[in-house]
Structure 1
Amino acid sequence: MADQNYDYDVLVIGAGPGGYVAAIRAAQLGLKTACAESRETLGGTCLNVGCIPSKAMLHASEYFEAASGGAMKAMGIEVSPKLNLDTMHAQRRDAVEGLTKGVAFLFKKNKIDWKSGHATFQDAHTVKVGDETVTAKNVVIATGSSVTPLPNVEVDNAKGVVVDSTGALELPKVPKKMVVIGGGVIGLELGSVWRRLGAEVTVVEFLDQLLPGMDGDVRKEAGKIFKKQGMELKLSHKVTGCTVKGKKATLTVEPSQGGEAETIEADCVLVSIGRKPNTEGLGLDAIGLETNERGQIETDHEFRTAVDGVWAIGDVIPGPMLAHKAEDEGIAVAENIAGQTGIVNHDVIPSVVYTWPEIAGVGLTEEQAKGKGKVKVGKFPMLANSRAKTNHEPDGFVKVIADAETDRVLGVWCIASVAGTMIAQAAQAMEFGATSEDIAYTCHAHPTHSEAIKEAAMAVTSKPIHI
């Protein structure tokens, strides 16, 4: 039962991966719970226009490219695929509908009240949702993030010429020429989709390597792989202007450190330079809650904000903007509100790029680890892995970084067709404080891609078998 002074024990603002998970866990713990969401469907950016639909398009486009040649032809399978983009979009929308309806079912199952509308604080325990006013003993801010705009480049998804990640999922036809502004995860994933389906893709990245924040070896190898796949990479460049005429865009591009500008024409421009926390319109000033210089809400390790009774999780607080990070925080904040102990180890949050091959990592990069002390590093190429060899998947490697004195694993990075699945083993090992020797002496099934993690761990102490 809710505290008699309030309508609810917990009101969660936002029904994305962090918010809906927090609401479900709170309800499971016996707390009377409501969740406010301004979208017509639950699931937030991830389920509606982010993680889920992009993976549906990535998976479908992988099949199309495989059927067009490459590994299938090398294995004796020759076909001539025909693209039905309308059907490809339909299966994406079907996946989204099924999963968002699944969250709605879970809300009903757990007796969570879904409050439809935009939420604005009136005070720390009173929130206006649409035309309704709701009170709660605890309010959890889980409003997620939105696309970071780029000065001088106006996004108009309806026209389909200059788009953000949402618009890039809905293109009605394959563009002949696509320019991706930003060489991060989202740009490379969606750029990969349309390249596979026939677009000429150019990636413009301000820094000198793709995938900012990832391990240096991974960034260099990724650049080689994407070039080999046919992407044009303009590294150390920035976009300073964009004009649209009809169905064409003309970009002005120049070196990041200054130099002669050039123009690039494109049928479609994807702006993907990052995301920013969604805090505008929440009425944070009404409760005296300020954001930091990055627009984020600061919390303590239990996810409490500076205002009593107000909590925050997910993309609106510091840390990587990842759905699984938000989910874990959603569980933890609900357990903390219920008087239990909810903990998230932010040092062990895996990240994955769902391109081909996949790119994944957890823990420290080699550069970060060396900044903290002496390390040992082991690498193993996927070319020497028997399963990757038989599957015609030679690109990539696994890299294990360990403390030179204790042998404790500090980070694992890999590029492989199933890197996103492989990284879970590394994350679990690190969560329990494993050493490279622990991984090296753990029996791995043969033949599997995961044997590359074992071999990389063995390479930390210079004893790999297959290289």
Structure 2
Amino acid sequence: MSEQFDTDVLVVGGGPAGYVAAIRAAQYDLDVTLVEMDALGGTCLNRGCIPSKALISAANVAHNARTWSEMGITAEVDVDFQQMVEWKDDVVGNMNRSVEKLCKANRVSLVDGRATFEDEHTVRVERSDDNSERLTFEYAVLATGSRPIELPGFEFHRSGVHDAKEALQFDELPDSLVVVGAGYIGIELSMLFAKLGVDITVVEALDSMMPAFPSDLVAPVSSAASALGIETNYGELAAECRSTDRGVSVSTEDAESGERRAYEADGVLVAVGRTPVTETMDLYRIGLEPNEDGFVPTDRYGRTDVDHVFAVGDVAGEPMLAHAGSKEGEIAATEIAGRDPPSGDRAVPAVAFTSPQIATVGMTEAEAEETEHTVSTGEFPMRASGRALTTGHTDGFVRLVSSDDGVVLGGQIVGPEASELISEITLAVEKGLSTEELAEVIHPHPTLSEAIQESAANDQALAIHTLNR
């Protein structure tokens, strides 16, 4: 470490992007200080990915037990939601402590507080005990993440108005919820609570569910939502929220006609996206200004317009995904250490933990057709998968998109364990593998992964367990 600075690398924010950047930089023998104003692990570990998936898993157990009579299983299921939340909190607590141990084991110095820049190589850290200190650094990594977007009239401090974090901490299950937003977070949580017996009404300003995903992948999810009793209302803008004796009354406005509708419920869950957190750091003091979308612009290695300052994760822009942020943290740390960083142009999968799950990576067929490639596709329906049949979950399919020479350009999955299956297709896209190579790999039987092998074979008109197109 240079004697000129207190630390080689200052990381601001301890979420999946920040703590990974800190650990990787420390592994390269740099002196690293990580400043976190809340809890290590960030939104993902403490308020998002991990707690929501824990409760989704628990809700699926309860729902499956109630609905597997076809398998000869019938049960009266009693859900103790408070105990479920306590179990979820234990999972989060264990992971939080694990992150702390990993940081300390890798010699990362941890500082609890809020960091604000004083100049290009100095921050002031305001600690939770009202004390403060100055730290000087050679390099900085900004990893302050994002927060839920608030809608006017639906501010989260208001009684009965909740964001995802609060919904995952309910003291008891409400009888009913209005969910504003039919993106993947809104639909994941809608299905979670519907499986636990909550009456769910979804309002969405756009004209479809989960518009970030191809419509044919969303169709099985939409059908499953209807089967759960979820009412979905599209083309309706959330206009007003009033407190009532019951809880809230949410008024919407038709996007075309302006017609008003009102929905009564115990509470409203607002899930309309997230916005980057940049205002906490006084970036203007180092000459950095977020762009019109609120993100800090960077190059492919995470370097900002200030040469020794990097930004990674949600604060640096799309895709706002934990695993993308972690890889960006690794890349930035490797660049800072003067090593050869991996390319910043990576295949990044996206997953929705709905029922059924959706997962995508690379190009869709429509996107590939807009390039110079001659495009072909191979598909395999989950209803033809022996393993899917044995699980009782057969909705969905696997699709591979490839070029005229057979190289895999992308893939889409809707069905059981799509979140696990997409990694094989991500590897194929990342490494330029062909559908022929995927089809030649022996996949164990009976497994869901055979659907990828069959989809690859279908691209060559050589599938065995589905008709070739």
TM range, normalised to the smaller chain? Answer: over 0.9
Q: Distance in 2 between matches of 1:137 and 1:399?
A: 47
SS of residue matched to 1:62: helix
TM-score where L is the length of structure 2:
0.95
Alignment deviations for residues 307-364 of structure 1 (CA, whole Å, 9 cap, x no partner)? 1211110001122111111111111111110001222554410111112221111112
Match of 1:175 in 2: 174
Is residue 2:149 matched to residue 1:148?
yes
Match of 2:331 in 1: 332
Alignment deviations for residues 95-138 of structure 1 (CA, whole Å, 9 cap, x no partner)? 11111011111122122111111111111110111111101000
Please tell me whether the aligned partners of residues 378 and 460 of structure 2 are also in contact (alpha carbons under 8 angstroms): yes
Alignment deviations for residues 281-316 of structure 1 (CA, whole Å, 9 cap, x no partner)? 211110111111101011111211001211110001
Match of 1:164 in 2: 163
Match of 2:129 in 1: none
TM-score where L is the length of structure 1:
0.95
Change (3 A) 1:357 1:296: same
Match of 1:133 in 2: 134
Q: Distance in 2 between matches of 1:358 and 1:267?
A: 28
Percent identity, please: 39
Match of 2:43 in 1: 45
Match of 2:307 in 1: 308
Alignment deviations for residues 189-241 of structure 1 (CA, whole Å, 9 cap, x no partner)? 11111111101112222222222222232133322232233221112222111
Q: Distance in 2 between matches of 1:209 and 1:276?
A: 22
Q: Distance in 1 between matches of 2:171 and 2:155?
A: 20
The counterpart of 1:92, out of the listed 88, 92, 101, is: 88
Change (3 A) 1:368 1:152: farther
Please tell me whether the aligned partners of residues 359 and 416 of structure 1 are also in contact (alpha carbons under 8 angstroms): yes
Where in structure 2 are the equivalents of 1:61-80 lying within 5 Å?
61-68=59-66, 70-71=67-68, 73-80=69-76
Match of 2:388 in 1: 388
Please tell me whether the aligned partners of residues 225 and 395 of structure 1 are also in contact (alpha carbons under 8 angstroms): no
SS of residue matched to 1:453: helix
Q: What letter corresponds to residue 342 of structure 1 in structure 2?
A: P
Please tell me whether the aligned partners of residues 385 and 452 of structure 1 are also in contact (alpha carbons under 8 angstroms): yes
- What is the Cα deviation at residue 258 of structure 1? 3.2
Match of 1:118 in 2: 114
Alignment deviations for residues 345-390 of structure 1 (CA, whole Å, 9 cap, x no partner)? 5441011111222111111223322222442122221111110112
Match of 1:233 in 2: 232
- What is the Cα deviation at residue 247 of structure 1? 4.4
Please tell me whether the aligned partners of residues 14 and 20 of structure 1 are also in contact (alpha carbons under 8 angstroms): yes
Where in structure 2 are the equivalents of 1:17-416 lying within 5 Å?
17-39=16-38, 41-68=39-66, 70-71=67-68, 73-130=69-126, 131-156=132-157, 159=159, 161-373=160-372, 374-403=374-403, 405-416=404-415
SS of residue matched to 1:64: helix
Please tell me whether the aligned partners of residues 184 and 210 of structure 2 are also in contact (alpha carbons under 8 angstroms): yes
Ranges in structure 1 where 5+ consecutive residues have no aligned partner: none
Please tell me whether the aligned partners of residues 216 and 367 of structure 1 are also in contact (alpha carbons under 8 angstroms): no
SS of residue matched to 1:372: coil
Bigger mean CA deviation after superposition, 148-157 or 358-367:
148-157
Change (3 A) 1:169 1:142: same
- How many residues align? The count is 460
SS of residue matched to 1:118: strand
- What is the Cα deviation at residue 154 of structure 1? 2.1
Please tell me whether the aligned partners of residues 301 and 344 of structure 2 are also in contact (alpha carbons under 8 angstroms): no
SS of residue matched to 1:400: strand
